[in-house]
Structure 1
Amino acid sequence: MQNVILKKSNKQISGTVNLTGSKSECNRALVIEALSNGKVKVENVSDAADAVLLAGILRSAVGSDQLAAVHGPSTIDHGPQTVDIGPAGTAMRFLTAYFAIQDNEVILTGSQRMKERPIGILVDALRELGAHIDYEEKERYPPIKLKGSFGQQTSKISIKGNISSQYITALLLIAARLPFGLELHIEGELTSRPYVEMTLAMLETAGIQHQWLDNVISITNQEFTTTSIHVEPDWSAASYWYAIAALADQADLFLTGLTPYSLQGDSVITEIMANFGITSQFKDGGVQLIRENKPFSHKIFDLKECPDLAQTIIVVCAALGHEAAFTGLETLKIKETDRILALQTELAKMGVKLIENNEVYQLDCSGKFIPDRMFINTYHDHRMAMAFAPLALIIPQLEFENGPVVDKSYPAFWTDLAKLGFEVQEVEG
C-alpha cells in the first residue's frame, strides 16, 4: 500500500483545476439510467471509483450492450449474483433499493467497514413495500440477500428524517417503478435536505414528477422520458481547494465547470469560505477563488445540510486557531469511518481538541502547536486524506497513510496538487 508524503515550499497557490463529475450526482444518474429502460443517458460520468463500480454493476444487471460501451466492462459475473461493493456506501443503499424490485436473486456485500454500517432502516421500508430481503450475517447490517419477486403491499411508508438521506433517496429513485407509486412520510427534521432535493430534481429531468407537501413526498407510477443527464463537476472536491486557498498567504485558483446554480448542497462552500476571506467569482465557465485578508467572525457552523464538508471546515478552523463550534454532525459517525473520532484523533497530533457537548462540537485550540512532521491516518476514508492535505501549507511535511484512498471520489487529487506546486512523493506504507 502506497503512502503519500506531501510538502509545499511556500504559501502561494495559483492555477487551474479541472474537477471530475460529482459522485453524488453521478450515482443518482446511473440508477435513473438503469431504471429508464434505455431512455436516459448519463453525460460526464465521474471517474470516482464508487461511480465506476456502480456503473459496472448496473451495466451487468441491465445487460445492455449500450451501457457496456459507455461505462466499461462488467464488475460481476452473470447468473446468481454476489455483488461486492467494497467500501461504497452510496452504492450499497441505492443498489439495495434497485435490486429489491428486480426479478433476480442478489447477495449484496462489501468491505468489513461496510458490514458495520447499518442498513436496517432501508430494509424495513423495502420489506413494508413488498420486498423479500434477508440478512446473511448480522441482523440489520450487510450482507443482505434480495430474493426478487417483488409484489407491492402498500404505497405509504414512513422513515425518520434524521438518518442518512441516502435511505430516502434510494426509495425515491425506485418510486416511479412501483406499481402503486410511493407516498413517503418523513418523520421529524430532515437531515441533508439538499441531497433529497438533488434526487428529485434529477428525477424531474428524467420526466418523473413529484409532490412535496409538508413532510410527505409523493411519486406516482409513471414512465421516464427520453433525455440525457449531464453530471456537474464535484463541489465536494472543490471544497478542498477552498480550504487550500484559506490556508494560503496568497491564492488565485480557477475551478472549471462550476456554476452558482448547482443541485449539489456542498456548493454552500462558497458562502462558508467567505468567512475565511475567500471570494468566489463565477466567470468564463468556472469559479475563481481569491484570497483576501478578512477578520474571522463566524463562530457556529450548522453543517446539517452539508455533512461532507465537516472535515474540511473543521480542519481549516483548527489550522487557523479558530475556536468555532459545529452542529449537524450526527451522521458522521456512520460514514466510511467514525469521522468524529477520526477527527479528534488526528487533530490531537497538533494539540487541538474537538469536544462534544450534547451534539454541539467545539474546537479547543489552546494547546495548538505546529509539528515539523505529521502522520495522517486515513481510516479508509477518502475525505480524511483530502481534508487534511491543506495542512501542507502550514506543516513542513505530511505523510498520509494509504494515498490511493482518494480514488473513491477524486482519483486525480494528488496529481492536481502536484500540478499546482505541491511536492507529492509516493512511499511504501
Structure 2
Amino acid sequence: MPNIILNKSNKQVKGTVNLTGSKSECNRALIIEALSDGKVHVDNVSDAADAVLLAGILRKTQESRVKNQEVLAGEVEPLTTHHSPLTTVDIGPAGTAMRFLTAYYAIQDDEVILTGSKRMKERPIGILVDALRELGAHIDYKENDGYPPIKLKGDFEQLTGKINIKGDISSQYITALLLIAARLPQGLELHIEGELTSRPYVEMTLAMLQTAGIQHVWTDNVIAIANQEFATTSLYIEPDWSAASYWYAIAALADEAELFLTGLTAYSLQGDSVITEIMANFGITSQFKDGGVHLLKEAKPLSRKIFDMKECPDLAQTVIVVCAALGHEATFTGLETLKIKETDRILALQTELAKMGVKLIEKGQVYKLDCSEKFIPESMFINTYHDHRMAMAFAPLALIIPQLEFENGPVVEKSYPAFWTDLEKQGFTVQSIG
C-alpha cells in the first residue's frame, strides 16, 4: 500500500467540506434493512469501505437465498426461512460488521463461517457468542476460543428471552443483540451489568429501530424489545460526525480557520457530535446554519484538564493528539475499549507521540499526557497499525510539523475514503509514494 507524504505551507484553513455518510449509522441501517423483509430502505449509504463491504455481503446473502429457494421450491419465501449451503464470509478488518453479522447470521438458517483479517482474529467476540448461545444459537469457534473465525450453524430455536451482558466492554455487542431482538420469537430482555460504555451508540441503535417501527422499553439497566414487525420506511444516513472531528482538530491547530461542513445538524443520533463541545475548549465555535455547521477559530486560553471519553471513544485519538500538539497536559478517562479496536490504540498512541517527545502515561484507568519533553521535529513518520483513525488523528499535525509521512495511506478508506482528497482541496499538499 502506498504511503502518504503530507504538508501544509501555511497555517490557515478556509473552505467547504462534504462528508461521507456515517459508518456507524449506515452499518446499523443495513442490518435493519436486511431483517425487515424489504420494508426498510436505506438512503445516503456511506461510501466508507466497511459499509460498502457489509452492504455487499448482505446483498449476496439475500441473492443466494433467493436462487436456492427457486431451485428447491420454484418460489421465493421470506428471507428468514431459506436455507443455503455453507459459505465463508470474510469481513477483513471490519469490526462492526463482525459483531453485527454474528448476531444476524445466528438467527438465520444459513450455515456460515465468519472470518476476517489477522487483527480481526485477535479481537474478542466471546461475550457476544456466549449471549447468542444462551439465546439458542449454534456457534462454534474454528481456531481459538473467544475469537473469530466462527461457524454459525443455523437452525436457531430460542431458549430464553432474558440474558445478561457486561456493559463496559463494547457497545457493539449490545447493539448486535438489540438489532435482532424484534425478530426473536420471545423478544429480548437485555440486562446490562455494570456501567454502560458508549451509551450514545446504544441510544443511536434504539432510535434507528424506532424509526423502523420497533418499540422498546428502557428501565434502569434493562432494555426490552418485544417480537414485532418492522414498519415500511426509509432510514436516512447523516454525514459522519467522526469524520468531522478531524476537521475540528485541524481548526484547533491552525492559526486561522473558517470551515463549513455540509449536512451536519445540531440534533444528531451520533454520540461523536459531542466534538462541538469538546473543541469549544480549544476556541472552535460551531454555528449551525445554511444546511451544515460553520467552524471558526477564536483565541481562547486552554483550561480544561480532564476529558472523559467513555461515551465517545472514537474521538479519543483525535483529542489526545491535539492536546499533545498544543503541549496541553490533559488527563483522559473512559479509554478502556481502545485496546480492542483495529489496533491497541493506547499502545499506538504512546508509540507515535513519543516521536515528538510526548508521553501518554497509564495509571489504572486514567491516562495523563506529559509534554515536558515535547519538541517539534522537522519530519515525522506515522505508523498507522492498519487503523484508519491513527492516520486521520495524526494528520492535523501537518499544521505544526513541516512534513509527515503516513504508512499505508489507503487505510482511511475504512471510514472516510475521500480524506486525503479533501485535505488537498483545503490547501494541504498530499503526495502518494511507493
TM range (shorter): over 0.9
1:391 and 2:397 matched? yes
Alpha carbons 2:85, 2:111 under 8 Å: kept: no
Structure-1 residue corresponding to 2:237: 231
TM-aligned CA deviation for residue 394 of structure 1 = 0.1
Partner SS state of residue 252, structure 1 = strand
1:201 and 2:207 matched? yes
C-alpha separation between the residues in 2 aligned to 1:143 and 1:358? 31
**TM-score normalised according to structure 2 size:** 0.95
TM-aligned CA deviation for residue 87 of structure 1 = 0.2
List structure 1 segments (4+ residues) > 6 angstroms apart after TM superposition: none
Which structure 2 residues correspond to residues 131-280 of structure 1 after superposition, within 5 A? Answer: 131-280=137-286
Partner SS state of residue 253, structure 1 = strand
Alpha carbons 2:360, 2:367 under 8 Å: kept: yes
Summarize the Cα distance change of 1:380–1:299 in structure 2 as closer, same or farther, 3 Å threshold. same
- 1:123-179 per-position Cα deviation (integer Å, ceiling 9, x unaligned): 000000000000000001000000000000000000001010000000000000000
C-alpha separation between the residues in 2 aligned to 1:175 and 1:59? 21
Give the letter for the 2:325 counterpart.
Answer: A
Given candidates 380, 387, 399, the residue that maps to 2:386 is 380
Matched residues, percent identical? Answer: 84
Structure-2 residue corresponding to 1:74: none
- 1:197-244 per-position Cα deviation (integer Å, ceiling 9, x unaligned): 000000000000000000000000000000000000000000000000
Partner SS state of residue 184, structure 2 = coil
Structure-2 residue corresponding to 1:59: 59
Structure-1 residue corresponding to 2:115: 109
Alpha carbons 2:358, 2:371 under 8 Å: kept: yes
Which structure 2 residues correspond to residues 332-411 of structure 1 after superposition, within 5 A? Answer: 332-411=338-417
TM-aligned CA deviation for residue 104 of structure 1 = 1.1
Partner SS state of residue 63, structure 1 = helix
Give the letter for the 2:23 counterpart.
Answer: K
Give the letter for the 1:33 counterpart.
Answer: E
Structure-2 residue corresponding to 1:69: none
- 1:302-327 per-position Cα deviation (integer Å, ceiling 9, x unaligned): 00000000000000000000000000
TM-aligned CA deviation for residue 64 of structure 1 = 8.6
C-alpha separation between the residues in 2 aligned to 1:256 and 1:156? 43
1:83 and 2:89 matched? yes
TM-aligned CA deviation for residue 80 of structure 1 = 2.2
C-alpha separation between the residues in 1 aligned to 2:369 and 2:410? 29
- 1:79-105 per-position Cα deviation (integer Å, ceiling 9, x unaligned): 421000000000000000000000010
Partner SS state of residue 16, structure 2 = strand
Given candidates 412, 419, 428, the residue that maps to 2:425 is 419
C-alpha separation between the residues in 2 aligned to 1:307 and 1:173? 21
Partner SS state of residue 235, structure 2 = strand
C-alpha separation between the residues in 2 aligned to 1:124 and 1:26? 26
Alpha carbons 2:109, 2:156 under 8 Å: kept: yes
Structure 1 runs not aligned, ≥5 long: 67-77
C-alpha separation between the residues in 2 aligned to 1:233 and 1:262? 10
Structure 2 runs not aligned, ≥5 long: 67-83
- 1:22-80 per-position Cα deviation (integer Å, ceiling 9, x unaligned): 000000000000000000000000000000000000111122999xxxxxxxxxxx842
**TM-score normalised according to structure 1 size:** 0.96
Partner SS state of residue 10, structure 1 = coil
TM-aligned CA deviation for residue 358 of structure 1 = 1.4
1:304 and 2:310 matched? yes
Structure-2 residue corresponding to 1:70: none
C-alpha separation between the residues in 2 aligned to 1:160 and 1:426? 43
C-alpha separation between the residues in 2 aligned to 1:303 and 1:248? 24
Alpha carbons 2:119, 2:343 under 8 Å: kept: yes
What is the CA RMSD across the aligned residues, in angstroms? 1.0
Structure-1 residue corresponding to 2:6: 6
Give the letter for the 1:240 counterpart.
Answer: Y
TM-aligned CA deviation for residue 278 of structure 1 = 0.1
Structure-1 residue corresponding to 2:328: 322
C-alpha separation between the residues in 1 aligned to 2:407 and 2:228? 48
Partner SS state of residue 174, structure 1 = helix
C-alpha separation between the residues in 2 aligned to 1:223 and 1:127? 24
Partner SS state of residue 169, structure 2 = coil
Give the letter for the 1:54 counterpart.
Answer: L
Which structure 2 residues correspond to residues 30-49 of structure 1 after superposition, within 5 A? Answer: 30-49=30-49
C-alpha separation between the residues in 2 aligned to 1:62 and 1:191? 33
1:50 and 2:50 matched? yes
C-alpha separation between the residues in 2 aligned to 1:377 and 1:386? 12
